[in-house]
Amino acid sequence: MKILITGGAGFIGSAVVRQAVAAGHQVVNLDALTYAANLENVASVADAPGYVFEHADIRDRAALDRILRAHDPDAIMHLAAESHVDRSIDGPGAFVETNITGTYNLLEAARAHWLARGKPAGFRFHHISTDEVFGSLGPQGQFTETTPYDPRSPYSASKAASDHLVRAWHETYALPVILSNCSNNYGPFHFPEKLVPVVILKALAGQPIPIYGDGGNVRDWLYVEDHADALLTVLTRGEIGRSYNIGGENEATNLELVQTICAQMDELHPQGAPHADLISFVADRPGHDRRYAIDPTRIRTELGWRPSVTLEQGLRRTVDWYLTNRDWWQPLLDRDGVGTRLGAAE
Ligand SMILES: NC(=O)c1ccc[n+]([C@@H]2O[C@H](COP(=O)([O-])OP(=O)(O)OC[C@H]3O[C@@H](n4cnc5c(N)ncnc54)[C@H](O)[C@@H]3O)[C@@H](O)[C@H]2O)c1
């Protein structure tokens, strides 16, 4: 299959690109190369047969039309987005433009492409979204595919809006879409402004490890390679018009997560142990959702998919990867805003 993957130079998109190429698919990687992108993430497949990179912005409709005409993909996996909640608090405009208007452009370009090709039966538009669209849970319960949307940050509101557009293009124009909503990812190639790499790199540097609020916020952590595997499963075997919740079956509070990473750092990098002494509680994120948890029954029962690693196993691989890949992350620490407190706005 020839798959156009948007956001393929980012964290999750690059994992999907690498796995899709390894599975024998042809891949067109479309990415605007924002601050969050890194072509090193896909360096291992850059010379693979059937892999092409297109430097383009999903806000640019003409570029999307040109790329779809030139490559004629059988499917689109849409991951390009502004993805950092803290940045969405400081600058929501970019989130509205890319996540909402950009998705609208891509839907319209995809619809024109699908119509021009005579509505091929196998065509798919797979929209990749987040569990954050469902809002915040109390101590009990899990998000299912029918949980009402209740986004609470500019990021999650923009993703929710994009999900609604994708569903509307299916209902109104019969565009063959599939959606997936996923919990928090972690793993190699994660941009060093997100919690897991921040903790590893602060511990490595012997600097305070910041935890927002009381550290009691719960997330359902999913290893990025497992997410990429789930996405290719949904694309190839999912049912048109349906959405799938993807979770790691690995709930942990932020404090538990950080303590696990610190314990692994004590083992893998004993200098500076005990690293948990570096934990430092800082002012909470405004509107910080308390708990997310995914009910993965649908993807498990209908598509037979389950995560392959526990949180402990995935974190160990991740810590190990950061310890051996300084050349990858060191230059990223100089990018705009990295290492500063974002999203603490009044
Ligand atoms: N990270 C998570 O835990 C998580 C969880 C669930 C869902 N998601 C979703 O998965 C997708 C990928 O997330 P990620 O963590 O890999 O994000 P990321 O920030 O690492 O990567 C996003 C990529 O999109 C590109 N991009 C941004 N704006 C663009 C534009 N206007 N045109 C073209 N490309 C553009 C960037 O250059 C970057 O390569 C997003 O849609 C996100 O909402 C993420």
CA of 130 to the centre of ligand 1 (A): 11
78 CA from centroid of ligand 1 (Å): 9
For residues 52 and 289, give the distance between their C-alpha atoms in angstroms, rounded to a whole number.
Answer: 38
The answer to whether 219 and 257 are in contact (CB under 8 A) is yes
The answer to whether 311 and 260 are in contact (CB under 8 A) is: yes
DSSP 239: P
CB 80 within 8 A of CB 56: no
**Are the C-beta atoms of 183 and 248 separated by less than 8 Å?**
yes
pTM of the model: 0.97
CA dihedral (234, 238, 240, 243) in degrees, to 10, reads -60
Residue 131: active-site member:
yes
- Active site (annotated) includes residue 244: no
Q: Report the candidate in 75, 73, 64 with the shortest Cα–Cα distance to residue 32.
A: 64
Q: Are 101 and 126 in contact (CB under 8 A)?
A: no
33 lines ligand 1 (CB under 6 A): yes
Q: Helix 11-22 to helix 224-237 angle, to the nearest 10 degrees?
A: 60
The β-bridge relationship of strands 279-282 and 222-223 is: unpaired
User: How far, in Å, CA of 156 to CA of 125, rounded?
Assistant: 20
Distances (CA, A) of 105 to 28, 72, 100, 218, 233: 18, 17, 9, 34, 26
Q: Is 9 in the pocket of ligand 1 (CB under 6 A)?
A: yes
User: What does the domain layout of the chain look like in residue ranges?
Assistant: 2-186+221-246
Tell me which of 155, 186, 212, 292 is the catalytic residue.
155
Give residue 328 CA to ligand 1 midpoint distance, Å: 18
Tell me phi and psi for residue 124, to 5 degrees. Answer: -135, 140
Q: What is the pLDDT along the chain (346 residues), one digit of tens a residue?
A: 999 999 999 999 999 999 999 999 999 999 999 999 999 999 999 999 999 999 999 999 999 999 999 999 999 999 999 999 989 999 999 999 999 999 999 999 999 999 999 999 999 999 999 999 999 999 999 999 999 999 999 999 999 999 999 999 999 999 999 999 999 999 999 999 899 999 999 999 999 999 999 999 999 999 999 999 999 999 999 999 999 999 998 999 999 999 999 999 999 999 999 999 999 999 888 888 899 999 999 999 999 999 999 999 999 999 999 999 999 999 999 988 888 878 876 5
The third-level CATH classification (topology) of the domain covering 2-186+221-246 is: Rossmann fold (3.40.50)
Is 31 a residue of the active site?
no
